[in-house]
Amino acid sequence: MNRRQLLVSIGSVSITLIAGCTGDTEESDREQADANGDRGSGDSGNDNGDSGSDKLVEILDHEFYNNGAYDAGVSGTLENVSGEELSYVGVNVFYLDSEGVQIEEGLDNTTELAADRKWKFDVGYLGDDPSEIEEYEIKTDVTDY
């Protein structure tokens, strides 16, 4: 791992820890992988764990990509459906092996996401063997200061 990747990883973890302490909502989605390692896209759960009009963001789509070592991850599109600008939006992806054990995690985030704006996220897998990934879970973290 080069120095830049290490610094980005450390910064991402720090932001995740700080944001996790102040987050308002979370969303989870677990995707099954098929035997050849391809990952399908699907619904993004229950809109932040909130019901009805209380949701702040909605994941419109997501998919796993695998271009080899250090070039794999989950990309997708998220929309701010809160009706207000959101100070911080983070997307965490937890990469799991065939036994459901977490083998890696990644984060992408943005700030000042305007009302009704869509954002393309890309959460990289920093491990060297993406073939280990059997499924993944997506969580969102939203903070509105």
Which CATH number goes with the domain that contains 45?
2.60.210
| pLDDT at site 1 | 44
When comparing pLDDT for 62 and 128, which is higher? 62
| pLDDT at site 67 | 93
| pLDDT at site 74 | 98
Domain count, the chain: 1
Amino acid identity for residue 32 in this structure: Q
Residue-number span of the structural domain to which 58 is assigned:
3-143
| Choice among 22-26, 47-51, 78-82, 137-141 with the minimum mean pLDDT | 47-51
- Whether pTM > 0.85 for this model: the answer is no
Per the listing, tokens 């080899």 go with: 68
Proportion of the chain in helix, strand, coil states, percent, rounded to 5: 20, 45, 35
- The closest alpha carbon to 101, from 74, 65, 127, 134, belongs to 134
Contact residues for 105 (Cβ-Cβ < 8 A; gap 6+): 92, 93, 94, 95
| pLDDT at site 7 | 45
Q: What is the mean pLDDT of residues 25-45?
A: 36
- Answer yes or no: is pLDDT of 5 > 90: no
Give residue-wise pLDDT tens across range 87-142: 999 999 999 999 999 999 999 999 999 999 999 999 999 998 999 999 999 999 99
- The closest alpha carbon to 29, from 48, 11, 13, belongs to 48
| pLDDT at site 145 | 75
- The closest alpha carbon to 72, from 20, 124, 26, belongs to 124
When comparing pLDDT for 53 and 84, which is higher? 84
| pLDDT at site 54 | 66
Q: How far apart, in whole angstroms, are the C-alpha atoms of residue 126 and residue 24? A: 27
| pLDDT at site 34 | 34
